[in-house]
């Protein structure tokens, strides 16, 4: 069995800097976290950026600068979020691809997202998939609910394989409105994943560790980070993203599937060098 790809999602679009002071929101903070996370065992970084006001932004210039800085200071596979924040318009989310990251997220359907709705119309998903292939960007298909795996199969049947020819899925579990973060649901998801695909999983909030253990035991890969949880244990806030990567790496090593360095992460995902 292969080693474990650990993806770090350090920032996200949901937490406010005022509530979570150690959330990396400036470019310097993001790069410093990325360097520490690579040293702790991460192979890929899932990036949301913030503006000077600390609010989420999809500003293309800032995204390009971020991709360049991460490439200069780390070897991590750089994945940009096309999910953005729930309020981001489709044109802005599509424009993210012009920053030419190694990889980008592609959410496979609309889902309730706490009190909001995370909109992903079918035509929009198809457009993301096609534009990524044109640009040689490897998608990570984000799955928030089980029916989105049926949509992924439809996408691949009707529109063909992505850039690189390999399908990688990330199960985002435990979002209020999406699938729960438990072993039973993870097993159900695995029954519906396209043949030959690899998968990672992340659990939001308190589902973080249960989902991590279930994914590891099922031969999957891991995503951790402050986008998904800002609490390390009951009553204990996360120190920084590297603390979450260190714990994931320790569990993966115990499971005899040690972290994959970025070069091997590229091979796994079929990202061009």
* Site of interaction with ligand KMH (CB under 6 A): 12-13, 81-83, 85-86, 105, 107, 113, 118, 142
Q: Which among Zn ion, ligand KMH, none contacts residue 79 (Cβ within 5 to 8 A by kind)?
A: none
Cα angle for residues 100, 244, 16 (degrees, 5° grid):
70
Please report how close the Cβ of residue 86 comes to ligand KMH at its closest, in angstroms. 5
**Residue 209 binds which entry of Zn ion, ligand KMH, none, CB below 5-8 Å type-dependent:** none
Contact call for residues 134 and 100 (beta carbons, < 8 A): no
Q: Which two tokens stand for residue 119?
A: 């909109």
Cβ 249 to ligand KMH shortest distance, Å: 22
Phi/psi for 176 (5° steps) reads -60, 115
Smaller CB separation from ligand KMH, 3 or 120: 120
Closer to ligand KMH at the Cβ: 118 or 251? Answer: 118
Are 130 and 159 within 8 A, CB to CB? yes
Window contacting Zn ion (CB under 5 A); options: 76-84, 187-195, 216-224, 236-244: 76-84
The three-state secondary structure class of 79 is strand
In angstroms, give the least distance from the CB of 92 to Zn ion.
15
Out of 7, 11, 81, 243, the residue judged to bind Zn ion by CB under 5 A: 81
The CB-of-56 to ligand KMH minimum distance in angstroms stands at: 8
Give residues with Cβ within 8 angstroms of 98, minimum separation 6: 60
Which CB, 10 or 262, lies closer to ligand KMH? 10
Give, as ranges, the residues between 116 and 155 that touch Zn ion (CB under 5 A).
Answer: none
**Counting beta carbons within 10 angstroms of the beta carbon of residue 239, is it exposed (0 to 12), middle (13 to 18) or buried (19 or more)?**
exposed
- Shortest Cβ 258–ligand KMH spacing (Å): 26
Instruction: Pick one of Zn ion, ligand KMH, none as the site partner of residue 86 (Cβ within 5 to 8 A by kind).
Output: ligand KMH
| Contacts of 104 by beta carbon, 8 Å cutoff, 6+ apart | 79, 80, 81, 82, 96, 97, 128, 132, 137, 138, 139, 140
Choice between 3 and 96, CB closer to Zn ion: 96
Tell me how far apart the alpha carbons of residues 244 and 247 are, in angstroms, rounded to a whole number. 5
In eight-state DSSP terms, residue 97 is G
- Spell out where 115-233 has E strands: 116-118, 138-143, 168-173, 198-203, 221-224, 231-233
Shortest CB 142 distance to Zn ion, Å? 7
Report how many residues bind Zn ion under the rule CB under 5 A.
Answer: 2
Question: Residue 85 touches which of ligand KMH, Zn ion, none (CB < 5 to 8 A by kind)?
Answer: ligand KMH
In the bound state with ligand KMH, the residue whose beta carbon lies nearer, of 13 and 36, is 13
Interacting residue ranges for Zn ion, rule: CB under 5 A: 81, 83
């Amino acid at each position: 069995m292969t080693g474990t790809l650990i993806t770090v999602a350090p920032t996200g679009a949901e937490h406010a800097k005022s509530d979570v002071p150690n959330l990396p929101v400036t470019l310097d903070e993001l790069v410093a976290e990325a360097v520490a996370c690579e040293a702790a065992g991460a192979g890929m970084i899932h990036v949301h950026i913030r503006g000077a006001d600390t609010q989420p932004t999809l500003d293309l210039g800032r995204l390009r600068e971020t991709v360049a800085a991460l490439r200069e200071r780390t070897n991590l596979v750089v994945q940009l979020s096309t999910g953005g924040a729930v309020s981001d318009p489709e044109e802005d989310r599509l424009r993210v691809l012009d920053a030419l990251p190694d990889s980008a997220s592609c959410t496979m359907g609309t889902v309730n997202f706490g009190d909001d709705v995370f909109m992903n119309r079918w035509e929009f998903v198809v457009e993301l998939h096609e534009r990524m292939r044109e640009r040689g960007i490897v998608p990570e298909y984000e799955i928030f609910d089980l029916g989105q795996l049926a949509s992924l199969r439809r996408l691949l049947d009707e529109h063909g394989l992505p850039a690189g020819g390999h399908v990688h899925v990330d199960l985002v579990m435990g979002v209020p409105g999406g699938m729960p973060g438990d072993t039973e649901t993870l097993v159900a998801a695995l029954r519906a994943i396209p043949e030959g695909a690899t998968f990672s999983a992340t659990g939001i909030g308190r589902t973080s560790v249960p989902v991590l253990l279930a994914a590891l035991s099922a031969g999957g890969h891991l995503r951790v980070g402050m986008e998904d949880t800002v609490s390390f244990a009951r009553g204990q806030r996360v120190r920084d993203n590297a603390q979450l990567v260190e714990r994931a790496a320790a569990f993966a090593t115990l499971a005899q599937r040690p972290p994959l360095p970025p070069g091997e992460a590229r091979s796994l995902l079929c990202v061009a060098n």
